[in-house]
Copies of this chain bind each other. A is one copy, B any other.
Amino acid sequence: MDKVRQLEIVEGISVEALVGGMEHCGFGARRLAIAARIYEEMLSGQYKKFFALSGAMVPAGMRNIVSDLIRQGHIDVLVATGANLVHDIIESFGFHCIGSAESDDVALRAEGVSRIYDVFLRDEDFIRFEELMQSILPDTTKTISGAQLMKHLGSQISDERSILRSACDKGIPVFCPALSDSMIGLQAWLHSQSKRLVVDAFADIKQIIDICYDSPRSGIVIIGGGVPKNFALQSMLVTPKSFDLAIQLTTDTPENGGLSGATLSEAISWGKISAGAKYVTVYGDATITFPLMVAATLGRIKKGSP
């Protein structure tokens, strides 16, 4: 049996060195180090790279890490919650604010501030978001897919650090399976009252399944869980393929039986992840574990061309 090696901290230690040292520790530290190791393999060029993004990652400051990963060629397929894309659009012209989780929410509403735990968003940014959406949503007689709508929105965003814009620039599909469950959905519906816009609820399914079919080997990073996790995993179900590498960063635990906390092993019983896959779940707040994993991995790999 290998020894646990007590972790050493030296002054000025890099994230890569610290996470590297964690590989010989126990508990969450080891899980994080394994995640970095699997991620290194996932970015080796041999895998189709899926990325499932839930949790309020953009309001919490994780947007540029995601858009950089896209621009560096480290994400081939993005599945996201509507909320993350809404806030990505807001960040392209406005900003979120440092707030407090112990706020008086009645007072916040009176001041026109919406709270996301300890992050604030002012109504004026929502109003600008609505105006922007009404000006850039398409008017088309053709029934389109969700991914086509996302691509169109990305093309209309000027901020190059935007996730949607980066995906558009790189030709990466963005799937948002619960599109109606977001302010993009609300605005699209409002728009469709006066303009022509019909999104086929099932059209994305064909596109993502085709990608699964065409991927000899594939890996997935799952931030949080929810719909993006399941949508990406279930797409493998109707193909003979399954994920060969899988990383989940989540705060949910398996004991309650919900999807977001379900182990990646459970997904093997469904055939979504392959029997011989390498996988790990890192339990904890992804605003900590996600930057750590990325920073620890990027130093180890040759980056793709931007």
CB distance from A294 to the nearest CB of B (A): 6
Interface membership of chain A positions 258-281, coded 1 if the CB is closer than 8 angstroms to chain B and 0 otherwise: 111110011111110001000000
Contact of A26 among B9, B27, B60, B182 (CB under 8 A): B60
Bound state CA distance, A127 and B236, in angstroms? 17
CB distance from A78 to the nearest CB of B (A): 15
CB distance from A269 to the nearest CB of B (A): 4
CB distance from A103 to the nearest CB of B (A): 7
Chain B residue contacts of A101, Cβ below 8 A? 254-255
Residues A258 and B56 in contact, CB atoms below 8 Å apart:
yes
Contact of A253 among B9, B65, B98, B255 (CB under 8 A): B255
Q: What are 20 A-B residue pairs whose CB atoms fall within 8 Å in the complex?
A: A3-B95, A11-B298, A12-B14, A25-B60, A26-B116, A27-B60, A27-B257, A29-B285, A101-B255, A105-B266, A109-B269, A117-B254, A118-B257, A119-B257, A177-B178, A181-B231, A189-B202, A192-B202, A226-B227, A252-B252
Chain B residue contacts of A64, Cβ below 8 A? 6-8
Given A18-B15, A205-B189, A63-B6 contact (CB < 8 Å): yes
Given A117-B262, A202-B189, A227-B178 contact (CB < 8 Å): yes
Bound state CA distance, A1 and B124, in angstroms? 14
CB distance from A159 to the nearest CB of B (A): 11
Extra contacts besides A9-B65, A253-B253 (11): CB < 8 Å: A1-B120, A9-B294, A25-B62, A27-B119, A29-B288, A117-B254, A146-B201, A178-B227, A185-B202, A198-B200, A288-B289
Residues A117 and B27 in contact, CB atoms below 8 Å apart:
yes
CB distance from A39 to the nearest CB of B (A): 13
Chain B residue contacts of A291, Cβ below 8 A? 7, 9, 18, 22, 29
CB distance from A178 to the nearest CB of B (A): 4
Q: Which 5 pairs between the two chains have the least Cβ-Cβ distance? A: A28-B285, A25-B61, A26-B60, A29-B287, A178-B178
Bound state CA distance, A30 and B60, in angstroms? 9
Residues A115 and B256 in contact, CB atoms below 8 Å apart:
no
Given A259-B56, A288-B292, A95-B4 contact (CB < 8 Å): yes
Interface residues of A in 149-205 (CB under 8 A from B): 161, 177-183, 185-186, 188-190, 192, 197-205
